[in-house]
Structure 1
Amino acid sequence: MPLISSYVSTSLDEQKKETLKTEFGKIITTIPGKTEKSLMLTFQDNISTYFRGDQTDCSYLEVKLFGSADKEYKAQLVEKLTACVASNCNIPSENIYITVSEIFDWSSNGQLLEKK
């Protein structure tokens, strides 16, 4: 199960959230074995952000992957996510930061899941 948590300084109305949801669902398939069907998303918008000492528009995304992925796929993932956020949230790509974490201990329904 992948999780993408988005923190953006701009406003996201329901239509923008729906657009990002759809685009992120397509982009997650960049990672082999990952699909929109198991993707969880969170959106936090209108966050007051300061960058390089000034208040400015920027974004931070956290991507958590259950299991591992080759670096080449993660590089493609962050490139596509950056382009998507830049175009849909009007945030310059140089102000978009993303972390990708591989998680091996994940639970659902009170049970620790095993990566197969």
Structure 2
Amino acid sequence: MPFISTKTNVTVSKEKETLIKERLGEAISIIPGKSENWLMLAIEGGVPMYFRGDDSQPTAFIEVKIYGGASSDTYAKVTKELTGIYGDILGIAPDHIYICYFGTEDWGWNGSNF
């Protein structure tokens, strides 16, 4: 049950959104037991964002939320993959991307919790 939320100041066309969706669908499998079959995404482009007091550079804030958790080594691999995805598709430099990971044992779906 992963959820990846992206906020970026880059305008995201439908074509780029589709590419991001496809690449994130592959990347989520780095986390053991996770797959695109349960992946939910939110991609917000064109968001006013400042980094280091400047809004002139492509910037992104990404949240990865999962049912359960993963090791720091796994999250490091995901970070490397995600920074590559956003760099390739949106031209965002790795030093202008923050990624936060959240794991929880309390996750609801279909009227009940797992």
Q: Secondary structure at the residue paired with 1:43?
A: strand
2:100 is aligned with 1:90: no
Structure 1 unpaired stretches of 5+: none
| TM-score, length-scaled by structure 1 | 0.94
Structure 2 unpaired stretches of 5+: none
Q: What residue is the counterpart of 2:21 in the other structure? A: 21
Amino acid at match of 1:6: T
**CA deviations over 1:10-51 (Å, ceiling 9, x no partner):** 011111011000000000000111001110001000011111
Deviation at 1:89, TM superposition (A): 0.7
Q: Give the total of aligned pairs.
A: 113
Which 4+ runs in 1 deviate beyond 6 A?
none
Q: What residue is the counterpart of 1:9 in the other structure? A: 9
Identity %: 33
Q: Pick the structure with more strand per residue.
A: 1
Q: Distance in 1 between matches of 2:48 and 2:17?
A: 19
Deviation at 1:65, TM superposition (A): 1.0
Q: Distance in 1 between matches of 2:93 and 2:79?
A: 14
Deviation at 1:110, TM superposition (A): 1.9
Amino acid at match of 2:7: Y
